[in-house]
């Protein structure tokens, strides 16, 4: 097994190189086939690795590839850590990734840039695998920035459109703000622990003690990195814009995998965070605020992909809430179920967009359930899953998070429940407006309505099954479940578990409370669904046209709280102004003027002194007399 593991990232890398180097010479159909088959093999190896390490407490191992950087005491091997956490992530990445590759073969069928598309997609998977497989923070950082690059390339895939290019640039730059935090955290880690290997850092973290300033600084900086990649407040603004990329990209990168990197990073460093209660409180706060903030924006969006984008931001907020309250398993559980149902929803949206000739405005859709049966049924299953209705997967993962939040603070539970209510509402609003009622698009679009080809519907069906049953991975004990995921992850979370066992402050909820919380969250979700049904099916309401008069609140959330406008005014414009000002006034008429003045003063000085040499004997005599008088006067004054 150990020998095969390195092929998991190498396969997609090879796919990238072949497609990328051959490019124009590569037959278009072959490109997708090649890209998908390397994914299939990578998944098979990941899955067999999973089989070989599950049920074994000490099955994790490190695979060394080569020495990356060795300078003084800084030793960074290029090596992979294979343990339950990385293997689970590898399976999600290669598994969901494989399905999305298959789907893309249908979705991108007519695009002339197909070969380039699959090359980028494979490259993304390569970097994403480095991110989760790296055995130290540097390899993780390589993957971290690498996926950012691929995200940039894929958001701006249709490069003729400068709006898309703007979105790509924004994603890269905003992510780099987070990356600065991440790299500073790595410097602190190296200075503190003398190593960047996870094993070394985790082993000596507890020596620093709970709430140490150093650990708080490290974890806060790591979290800054996470807010960039995982689109949390205040760095979330790039993600909705990232929807400019082709829909399979939104599903793979901007829903299922890359955006969960921040959560992965925190779980990987779990003991550092457990030891920093301040950071945890910040994370819980930011997480729940993001969940709520993005969910309210989602209520009023009319672009099918924008709704899903804000939904993703919101769901990621839930995951951070889980991390903040110490439920690492809950966070990862939600990463997994979210990967299933959000990939499904995005791919479903892609199928819809495909059917209505590129239209993305849900006000111009409607009544599609008759024509797009498979898309509709699978989309419905995904919607139920994300809304948190049992026994679908989203119910279990969300419930675990909310229960953990409740034991941390009932207020967090309350805020989370409001976000969950919004989720159920906007998702069913989306479903009803898209698939129910009558078609509101043009006659021509209506004429072309068709179900997508099997390459697209098959992944939908597989993901739909996973969205339904995925929750069985970690059914809570109170419902008679086996909590497999928790047991599986136990070795990774052992430092945290031991710490809590030693300090014994984990409050356990009574069974009654757990039942009550579950009941409450189901009721809340149902109210959201019913409200959406009444509004958009029974009353047949359609959101107002652009430019219509709206109430203040409606306008505020439709315009996403004007966050983009605020950032533009506070950061972008001043930076540009500073750049122009600096050039005109500091550089050209400041420093350079001074330099020129210095040389001018020499010229001037030489002119003045050359005037003294006039050749006129009278002037010389006069100056001599003045000089003699001055000397005499000076001498006399001293007596």
Partner 1 sequence: MITLALIFFPLIASILVFLSGNNNAKKVALLGGLVQFVLSLVALSKYQVDPSSLAVNQAWLTSLGVNFTVGIDGIGIVLVLLTSFLIPIIILSTFEREFKNAAAFYALILFMSSALIGVFVSYNLLLFYIFWEAALIPIYFIAGYWGGEDRVKVTFKFFLYTIIGSLFMLVGIIYVYLQARSFDYTTLSALELTCSQQGWLFWAFFIAFAIKMPIFPFHTWQPNTYTTAPAAGTMLLSGIMLKMGIFGVIRWLVPISKAAFLCNGDIVIVFAVIGIVYGAVLAIKQDDIKRLVAFSSISHVGLIAAGLFAANELSLQGSVIQMFAHGVNVVGIFFIVDLIERRTGTRSIKELGGIINQAPLLSVFFVIIMLGSVALPLTNGFVGEFLLLNGLFQYHAGLAAVAGLSIILGAVYMLKMYQNVMLGESNEVTSNFAPLTLSEIIVLTVISATVIIMGVYPKYFLDLSQADIHSLVSSHCSSASCIK
Q: Is residue 67 at the binding interface for partner 1, with CB under 8 A as the rule?
A: yes
Residue for token pair 């207020």: 411
User: Which of 70, 442, 589, 614 contacts partner 1 by CB under 8 A?
Assistant: 70
β-partners of residue 82 are 61
* Secondary structure element (H or E) that encloses residue 80, with its range: strand 74-82
Shortest reach from residue 79's CB to partner 1, in Å: 14
Do 136 and 198 contact (CB within 8 A), yes or no?
yes
**Backbone dihedral region of 437: left (phi > 0), alpha (psi from -120 to 50 degrees) or beta?**
left
Distance CA 293, CA 288 (A): 8
- DSSP 8-state secondary structure symbol assigned to residue 483: -
Shortest reach from residue 140's CB to partner 1, in Å: 10
User: Which of 149, 282, 377, 449 contacts partner 1 by CB under 8 A?
Assistant: 149
User: Which of 2, 51, 74, 625 contacts partner 1 by CB under 8 A?
Assistant: 74
User: Which of 48, 56, 64, 162 contacts partner 1 by CB under 8 A?
Assistant: 162
Cβ-based nearer residue to partner 1, 46 or 175 = 175
Cβ-based nearer residue to partner 1, 221 or 525 = 221
Distance CA 629, CA 482 (A): 110
Shortest reach from residue 582's CB to partner 1, in Å: 5
Q: Is 545 helix (H, G, I), strand (E, B) or coil?
A: coil
Taking alpha carbons only, the member of 432, 438, 442, 638 closest to residue 530 is 432
Distance CA 509, CA 74 (A): 45
Which residues have CB under 8 Å from 327's CB, separation 6+?
A: 400, 401, 404
User: Which of 156, 416, 441, 471 contacts partner 1 by CB under 8 A?
Assistant: 156
Q: Is residue 159 at the binding interface for partner 1, with CB under 8 A as the rule?
A: yes
Binding-residue pattern over the window 266 to 305 for partner 1, x denoting contact by CB under 8 A? ----------------------------------------
Cis check: omega of the bond before 391, within 30 degrees of 0:
yes
Which residues have CB under 8 Å from 145's CB, separation 6+?
A: 179
Shortest reach from residue 148's CB to partner 1, in Å: 8
Do 96 and 470 contact (CB within 8 A), yes or no?
no
Cβ-based nearer residue to partner 1, 164 or 273 = 164
Q: Site residues for partner 1, window 571-600 (CB under 8 A)?
A: 575-576, 578-580, 582-583, 586-587, 591-592, 595, 599
- Radius of gyration, CA atoms only, the chain: 31
Distance CA 363, CA 545 (A): 8
Cβ-based nearer residue to partner 1, 591 or 623 = 591
β-partners of residue 66 are 78
**Which region among 159-167, 241-249, 418-426, 529-537 touches partner 1 (by CB under 8 A)?**
159-167
Shortest reach from residue 131's CB to partner 1, in Å: 11
Cβ-based nearer residue to partner 1, 582 or 605 = 582
Cβ-based nearer residue to partner 1, 599 or 637 = 599
Neighbours of 590 (CB within 10 A): 13
Binding-residue pattern over the window 168 to 207 for partner 1, x denoting contact by CB under 8 A? -x--xx--xx-xx--xx-xxx-xx----------------
Distance CA 488, CA 261 (A): 20
Query: SS in 3 state form for 431-459?
Result: HHHHHCCCCCCCHHHHHHCCCCCHHHHHH
Cβ-based nearer residue to partner 1, 477 or 588 = 588
Q: Is residue 83 at the binding interface for partner 1, with CB under 8 A as the rule?
A: no
Shortest reach from residue 123's CB to partner 1, in Å: 11
Cβ-based nearer residue to partner 1, 565 or 592 = 592
**Which region among 143-151, 404-412, 516-524, 536-544 touches partner 1 (by CB under 8 A)?**
143-151
Q: Is residue 624 at the binding interface for partner 1, with CB under 8 A as the rule?
A: no
**Which region among 67-75, 95-103, 232-240, 558-566 touches partner 1 (by CB under 8 A)?**
67-75
Distance CA 269, CA 193 (A): 14
Q: Is residue 25 at the binding interface for partner 1, with CB under 8 A as the rule?
A: no
Shortest reach from residue 273's CB to partner 1, in Å: 21
* Secondary structure element (H or E) that encloses residue 65, with its range: strand 61-71
Shortest reach from residue 138's CB to partner 1, in Å: 8
Q: C-alpha 352: how far from its chain's center? A: 25
Shortest reach from residue 271's CB to partner 1, in Å: 23
Do 359 and 347 contact (CB within 8 A), yes or no?
no
Cβ-based nearer residue to partner 1, 40 or 173 = 173
Residue for token pair 């199928």: 351
Shortest reach from residue 193's CB to partner 1, in Å: 14
Distance CA 510, CA 529 (A): 29
* Angle ∠(216,220,221) on CA atoms, nearest 5: 120
Number of chain positions touching partner 1 (CB under 8 A): 49
Q: Is residue 29 at the binding interface for partner 1, with CB under 8 A as the rule?
A: no
Taking alpha carbons only, the member of 525, 280, 524, 316 closest to residue 409 is 280
Q: Is residue 241 at the binding interface for partner 1, with CB under 8 A as the rule?
A: no
Q: Is residue 146 at the binding interface for partner 1, with CB under 8 A as the rule?
A: yes
Question: Residue 159: what are its φ and ψ, rounded to 5°?
Answer: -75, -5
User: Which of 71, 501, 603, 608 contacts partner 1 by CB under 8 A?
Assistant: 71
Tokens of 40: 């299939």
Q: Is residue 569 at the binding interface for partner 1, with CB under 8 A as the rule?
A: no
Q: Which residues bind partner 1 (CB under 8 A)?
A: 66-72, 74, 138, 141-142, 145-146, 149, 152, 156, 159-162, 165-166, 169, 172-173, 176-177, 179-180, 183-184, 186-188, 190-191, 575-576, 578-580, 582-583, 586-587, 591-592, 595, 599
């Amino acid at each position: 097994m150990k020998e095969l593991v390195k092929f998991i990232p190498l396969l997609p890398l090879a796919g990238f190189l072949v497609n990328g180097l051959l490019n124009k010479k590569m037959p278009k159909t072959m490109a997708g086939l090649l890209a998908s088959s390397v994914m299939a093999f990578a998944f098979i190896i990941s899955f067999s690795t999973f089989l070989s390490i599950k049920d074994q407490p000490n099955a994790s191992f490190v695979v060394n590839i080569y020495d990356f950087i060795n300078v003084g005491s800084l030793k960074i091997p290029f090596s992979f850590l294979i343990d339950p956490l990385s293997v689970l992530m590898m399976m999600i990445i290669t598994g969901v990734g494989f399905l999305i590759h298959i789907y893309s073969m249908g979705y991108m069928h007519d695009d002339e840039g197909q070969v380039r598309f699959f090359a980028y997609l494979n490259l993304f998977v390569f970097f994403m695998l480095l991110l989760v497989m790296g055995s130290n923070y540097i390899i993780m950082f390589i993957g971290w920035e690498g996926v950012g690059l691929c995200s940039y390339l894929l958001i701006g895939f249709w490069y003729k459109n400068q709006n898309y290019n703007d979105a790509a640039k924004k994603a890269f730059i905003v992510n780099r703000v987070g990356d600065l935090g991440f790299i500073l955290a790595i410097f602190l880690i190296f200075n503190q622990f003398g190593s960047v290997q996870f094993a070394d850092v985790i082993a000596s973290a507890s020596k620093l003690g709970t709430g140490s300033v150093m650990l708080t600084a490290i974890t806060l900086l790591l979290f800054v990195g996470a807010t960039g990649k995982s689109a949390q407040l205040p760095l979330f603004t790039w993600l909705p814009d990232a929807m400019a990329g082709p829909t399979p990209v939104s599903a793979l990168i901007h829903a299922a995998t890359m955006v969960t990197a921040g959560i992965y990073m925190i779980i990987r460093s779990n003991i550092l965070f457990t030891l920093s209660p301040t950071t945890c409180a910040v994370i819980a706060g930011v997480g729940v605020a993001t969940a709520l903030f993005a969910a309210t924006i989602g209520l009023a969006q009319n672009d099918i992909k924008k709704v899903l984008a804000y939904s993703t931001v919101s769901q990621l907020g839930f995951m951070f809430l889980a991390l903040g309250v110490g439920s690492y398993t809950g966070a990862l559980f939600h990463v997994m179920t979210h990967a299933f149902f959000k990939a499904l929803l995005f791919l479903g949206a892609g199928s819809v967009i495909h059917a209505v000739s590129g239209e993305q405005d849900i006000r111009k859709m409607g009544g599609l359930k008759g024509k797009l049966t498979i898309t509709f049924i699978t989309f419905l299953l995904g919607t139920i899953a994300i809304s948190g209705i049992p026994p679908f997967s989203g119910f279990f993962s969300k419930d675990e998070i909310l229960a953990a939040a409740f034991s941390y603070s009932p207020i967090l539970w309350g805020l989370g429940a409001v976000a969950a209510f919004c989720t159920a509402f906007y998702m069913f609003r989306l479903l009803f407006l898209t698939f129910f009622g009558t078609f509101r698009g043009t006659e021509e679009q209506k004429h072309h309505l068709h179900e997508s080809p099997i390459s697209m519907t098959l992944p939908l069906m597989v993901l739909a099954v996973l969205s339904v049953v995925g929750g069985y991975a970690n059914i809570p004990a109170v419902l008679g479940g086996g909590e497999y995921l928790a047991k599986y992850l136990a070795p990774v979370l052992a430092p945290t578990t031991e710490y809590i066992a030693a300090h014994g402050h984990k409050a356990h909820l009574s069974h009654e409370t757990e039942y009550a919380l579950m009941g409450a969250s189901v009721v809340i979700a149902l109210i959201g669904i019913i409200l959406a049904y009444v509004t958009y099916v029974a009353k047949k309401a359609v959101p107002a046209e652009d430019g219509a008069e709206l109430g203040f609140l409606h306008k505020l959330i439709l315009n996403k709280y004007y966050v983009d406008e605020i950032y533009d005014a506070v950061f972008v414009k001043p930076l540009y102004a500073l750049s122009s000002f600096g050039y005109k006034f500091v550089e050209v008429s400041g420093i350079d003027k001074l330099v020129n003045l210095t040389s001018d003063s020499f010229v001037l000085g030489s002119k003045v002194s050359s005037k003294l040499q006039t050749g006129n004997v009278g002037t010389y005599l006069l100056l001599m007399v003045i000089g003699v008088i001055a000397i005499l006067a000076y001498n006399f004054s001293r007596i």
